[in-house]
């Protein structure tokens, strides 16, 4: 049985506990071969969240197989005892993980020096400024660098836990746990923290419905007429309302959705360029390349190189 210890300090963000739900459901699948979970703190006893919920903890001592650190809404200095325990954990535990702003705790203990790490996007630049030796990637869902793992905020704690479960027991179990949690099977670590649908921020249900339709039918041409029909508006009225609510033309918004989907497919490393272009509605590689250059200032192959996922084909 693998031991998972989650370190809490007063002021922890309660959403960080969601990671333990994934391990709990893994136990339902694994039985006695699963996980033993322990809530830890420097001295043990009651630790309170930002919502003032009290959680009983055990004092730091025996080293778990996997050490996790919960994040705080406002990351601050860590207790010397916690720091010393984490320094030891980097050498003795099989894995150490920071959930959300838990990355600040790992960084203060020196565990992230020279490593790639992530955290909630709202705190990423602060992390980089405070700990310049850390290579902060502010746009990732989670990052693994050696035996050190870090995740973005809030719901990304579940993605991190599912990734750890997959690391232990394979994709099949992680998929079953995700199904029990009623979440999408583990988002790839390289997936962006941002969503084109969230960035567009439509107000009305009609525009939201049109964008959802577009996202689910990227292979289609997605003309203004097709989107207007999904919104149950005339093409002229749809174009006007769409721009008022999103600040974008329908064509530009569709391109953003195609880019987001294409980027996710490329980051998975499992698809050829032609397949990505076809499945995301770009029609051909050259059109996709031009869209990438407009949006990211680099072609798709440069993205793949940066993720160390380049295959044998090139799109230059």
CA dist., res. 253 & res. 201, Å (int)? 11
Do 241 and 294 belong to one domain? Answer: yes
Residue 37 resides in a domain = yes
Residue among 17, 26, 82, 100 flagged as catalytic: 100
Dihedral sign (CA 51, 83, 190, 134)? positive
Whether residue 206 lies inside any domain: the answer is yes
- Do 166 and 287 lie in one domain? The reply is no
What does the alpha-carbon distance between residue 227 and residue 33 come to, in Å, rounded to a whole number? Answer: 51
Residue 277 in any domain: the answer is: yes
- What does the alpha-carbon distance between residue 21 and residue 36 come to, in Å, rounded to a whole number? 12
Q: Which pLDDT score, from 0 to 100, does residue 311 have?
A: 37
CATH number of the domain within which 289 lies: 1.10.10.60
Say what the pLDDT of residue 213 is.
Answer: 92
Per-residue confidence in pLDDT tens, the chain, 316 aa: 899 999 999 999 888 898 999 999 999 999 877 999 999 999 999 999 989 999 999 999 999 999 999 988 888 888 899 999 999 999 999 999 999 999 999 999 999 999 999 999 889 899 999 999 999 987 788 899 999 999 987 788 898 999 999 999 998 898 899 888 877 555 555 555 556 666 677 888 899 889 989 988 999 999 999 999 999 999 999 999 999 998 889 999 999 999 988 888 887 777 888 999 999 999 899 999 999 888 877 788 776 665 544 333 333 3
Specify the pLDDT at position 314.
34
- Residue 46 shares a structural domain with residue 156: yes
> Looking at the structure, do residues 206 and 172 belong to the same domain, yes or no?
no
pLDDT at 164: 95
Decide if 100 is catalytic.
Answer: yes
Per-residue confidence (pLDDT) for residue 306, from 0 to 100: 55
Specify if 100 maps to a domain.
Answer: yes
For residue 64, tell me if it sits in a domain: yes
**What CATH number has the domain bearing residue 65?**
3.40.50.880
Look up residue 259 and give its two tokens: 């880019």
Q: Are residues 137 and 266 in the same domain?
A: no
The answer to whether the beta carbons of residues 141 and 188 sit under 8 Å apart is yes
- Please tell me what DSSP assigns to residue 42: S
Among residues 123, 188, 192, the alpha carbon closest in space to that of 159 is found at 188
Q: Which domain holds residue 300?
A: 196-306
Identify whether 316 is part of a domain: no
Domain boundary among 181, 206, 224: 181
Same domain assignment for residues 59 and 124: yes
Number of structural domains found in the chain: 2
Is-above-0.75 flag for pTM? Answer: no
């Amino acid at each position: 049985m693998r031991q998972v210890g989650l370190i809490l300090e007063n002021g922890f963000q309660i959403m960080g506990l969601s990671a333990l739900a994934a391990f709990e459901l893994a136990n339902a699948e694994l039985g006695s071969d699963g996980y033993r979970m322990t809530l830890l703190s420097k001295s043990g006893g009651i630790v309170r969240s930002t919502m003032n919920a009290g959680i009983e903890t055990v004092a730091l001592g025996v080293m778990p197989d996997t050490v996790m650190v919960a994040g705080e809404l406002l990351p601050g200095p860590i207790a010397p005892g916690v720091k010393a325990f984490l320094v030891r954990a980097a050498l003795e535990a099989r894995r150490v993980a920071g959930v959300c702003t838990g990355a600040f705790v790992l960084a203060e203990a020196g565990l992230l020096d020279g490593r790639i790490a992530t955290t909630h996007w709202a705190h990423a630049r602060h992390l980089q400024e405070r700990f310049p030796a850390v290579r902060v990637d502010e746009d990732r869902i989670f990052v693994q660098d050696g035996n050190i793992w870090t995740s973005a905020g809030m719901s990304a704690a579940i993605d991190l836990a599912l990734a750890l479960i997959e690391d232990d027991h394979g994709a099949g179990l992680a998929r079953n746990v995700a199904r029990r949690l009623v979440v999408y099977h583990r988002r790839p670590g390289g997936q962006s923290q941002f969503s084109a649908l969230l960035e567009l921020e439509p107000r009305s249900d009609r525009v939201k419905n049109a964008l959802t339709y577009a996202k689910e039918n990227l292979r289609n041409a997605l003309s203004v007429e097709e989107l207007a029909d999904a919104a149950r508006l005339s093409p002229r009225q749809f174009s006007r309302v769409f721009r008022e609510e999103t600040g974008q033309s329908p064509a530009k918004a569709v391109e953003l959705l195609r880019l987001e989907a294409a980027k996710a497919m490329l980051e998975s490393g499992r698809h050829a360029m032609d397949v990505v272009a076809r499945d995301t509605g770009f029609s051909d590689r050259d059109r996709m390349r031009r869209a990438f250059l407009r949006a990211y200032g680099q072609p798709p192959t440069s993205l793949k190189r940066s993720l160390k996922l380049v295959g044998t084909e090139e799109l230059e």
